[in-house]
């Protein structure tokens, strides 16, 4: 599994999610399996099959999360700067074509959340911005074609 870069906060959230899945969801599914088993014939017991499938999915999710945190590298925010766009920076960009401005924080893939305006560092827009400075205009290939963005501001 590849190394994943995370903030301290993102790492903490993943650890909390693992604890929740192991300490709350796992016992719930075990109870559901036991209840379904108590209802008799397992060969035609849809509840039992569904509970066993849910258990398999849960264990897979726990395993994936554990792999993710095992290979995580915590990003030290004290080493960040705003000279050029880098991971964890908040970047304000202006679409050169229509003048519309947008603001995104570039984060590790595991922390991306568009509703919170956090974009994964592996996305075309983030890739196009990384390493550039305020005032530069970058051309980024997106699914709809080539777009030009001016970097207006870089902050934390």
- What is the C-alpha to C-alpha distance for residues 35 and 51, in angstroms, rounded to an integer? 10
Q: Rounded to two decimals, what is the model's pTM?
A: 0.65
Mean confidence (pLDDT) of the chain:
90
Highest mean pLDDT out of 18-32, 83-97, 110-124: 18-32
Contact predicate 96/149, CB 8 Å: yes
Q: How confident is the model at residue 2 (pLDDT cuts 50, 70, 90)?
A: low
pLDDT on residue 106: 92
Mean pLDDT within 68-93 = 86
22-31, 109-118, 129-138: least confidently modelled range? 109-118
Q: What burial class does residue 131 get, using C-beta atoms within 10 Å of its C-beta: 0-12 exposed, 13-18 middle, 19+ buried? A: exposed
Contact predicate 82/89, CB 8 Å: yes
pLDDT on residue 76: 76
**Over the stretch 123-147, which tens digit does the pLDDT of each residue have?**
999 999 999 999 999 999 988 899 9
Q: How confident is the model at residue 1 (pLDDT cuts 50, 70, 90)?
A: low
Closest by CA to 93, choosing from 56, 121, 134, 127, is 134
Highest mean pLDDT out of 9-13, 94-98, 143-147: 94-98
H or E element that contains 4: strand 4-6
| Contacts (Cβ under 8 Å, ≥6 apart) of 115 | none
Of 55 and 144, which is predicted with more confidence? 55
Closest by CA to 62, choosing from 103, 23, 12, is 23
Length of the chain: 156
pLDDT on residue 92: 96
């Amino acid at each position: 599994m590849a190394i994943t870069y995370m903030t301290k906060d993102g790492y903490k959230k993943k650890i909390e999610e693992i604890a929740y899945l192991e300490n709350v969801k796992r016992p719930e599914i075990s109870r559901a399996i036991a209840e379904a088993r108590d209802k008799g014939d397992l060969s035609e017991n849809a509840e039992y099959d569904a509970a066993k499938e849910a258990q398999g999915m849960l264990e897979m999710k726990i395993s994936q999360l554990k792999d993710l945190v095992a290979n995580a590298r915590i990003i030290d925010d004290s080493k960040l700067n705003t000279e050029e766009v880098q991971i964890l920076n908040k970047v304000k960009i202006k679409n050169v074509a229509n003048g519309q401005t947008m603001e995104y924080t570039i984060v590790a893939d595991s922390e991306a959340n568009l509703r919170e305006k956090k974009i994964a560092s592996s996305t075309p827009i983030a890739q196009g911005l990384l390493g550039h400075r305020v005032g530069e205009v970058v051309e980024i290939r997106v699914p709809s074609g080539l777009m030009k963005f001016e970097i207006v501001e870089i902050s934390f």
